Amino acid sequence: MKNKISSTTIHHFIKAAILLGLAIYIFQLTLTDEILQFIVPELVIYIKIATGILFIVVISQIYIAVLSLKRHVIICDCGHDHSHDQVFGHEHHHLFKKSILKDILIYSLFLLPLFLGYLLPNHASSSSLASNKEMNFKGLAVQSSSSGHAVEVKGNEDPALKKLFKTNVYDQDYAKLGMRLYKQNIIEMKDKWFIEKLQSMNTFVDNFQNKQIKIKGFIYRDPKLAGNQFIVARMGMTHCIADISPFGIIAESTDAQQFVNNSWVTITGTIGNTNFNGQTVIKINVEKSEPAKSPSVQYVYPDWNFGSKL
């Protein structure tokens, strides 16, 4: 009988190191808000809870690794490790021999994504992402329905305004938002309710003709557009990175070619309408443009409860 650092102890420390690396990486993402490159804000709280649990698991794994150093390992020819734990009593472990290559392969499955996470940037070019997805000009438009009688929304708004925004029962929240936007001197497409505003204005296209609008986004061109047209877009995430889609507004300008693909700009102009793929959507008649800095978090997110906040 003799003391030595067994292969089991080494495996415990490797597992502890991998878990610690994952825990630190996720913690850094939440601390810097870069976690929003992967999930919507509503899910961040669950990631924080999971990270706390992961740190507890790390501490437990380190404890097991240190504890395994105290074991007396009996070296024999039977192909098993027989270890005696002075704290928990006698234990008899039957550990199948594993090849080094198999161990390397298994640990690589965890180390590779960890290394890539630390070494690679957390976001890709917006245009490169948009090119693989269909552009959304009308928002999510998942609950809208053309069936049913148009009704006026409830509330103390001007009766003439409520009549202007009559709609079906499915779109009443967008009608309420539309009335709020209608009363603004200039509609600013900020991150908050970006997708909801887009859907509201496209639900009531005629109501917003000649209204002033200001939007910040990246330049994207669709081959179906005319030469004087381009798209000012944002990438939207509905749940996680797997379901990102581009949301945007068509813009028209006599100097359209000066706008470089994937560059960020702030566009100011008046709202008009145009036809794309058989659908009538709003457009911007560009009056002013200026370069803009891309935001640290380039995504916008839907607010599923925006109606209750109006």
Encode pLDDT of 254-283 as tens digits. 999 999 999 999 999 999 999 998 889 999
- What is the pLDDT, as a whole number, of residue 124? 60
Mean pLDDT to the nearest integer, 276-291: 95
Band of the pLDDT at 127, cuts 50, 70, 90?
low
Mean pLDDT to the nearest integer, 34-52: 94
- What is the pLDDT, as a whole number, of residue 94? 45
Average pLDDT value for the chain:
86
- pLDDT above 70 (res 86): no
Q: 58: closest CA among 112, 108, 12?
A: 12
As a whole number of angstroms, the distance between CA 144 and CA 106 comes to: 48
As a whole number of angstroms, the distance between CA 63 and CA 57 comes to: 10
- What is the pLDDT, as a whole number, of residue 153? 86
The pTM is what? Answer: 0.79
Band of the pLDDT at 150, cuts 50, 70, 90?
confident
